Amino acid sequence: MKMTASVWAPLIYKRLLAADKRDRDMAERCLKDVEPMLLPTHSSLAKVLYENLALILFRNVFAITDCS
């Protein structure tokens, strides 16, 4: 889905800026439908951030103790 965004995103964006309310509403519904595929959920994002932060902290602590 992300790989083909250059194909479908301009069309939705064009409809979001349309003067016709019907087109704008349809574009908003499309974006709400694809949002879970494009954006990670809060729990999976939090898990990745936790793992990344833990790894960085572990490396920093290891580097500090290694230098002493």
Give the model confidence (pLDDT) of 21-54 as tens digits.
998 899 899 888 888 777 777 787 788 888 888 8
On average, the pLDDT of the chain sits at 82
Q: Can you give the C-alpha Rg of the chain in angstroms? A: 21
Percent pLDDT > 90 in the chain is 6
Give the start-to-end residue ranges of the domains of the chain: 5-67
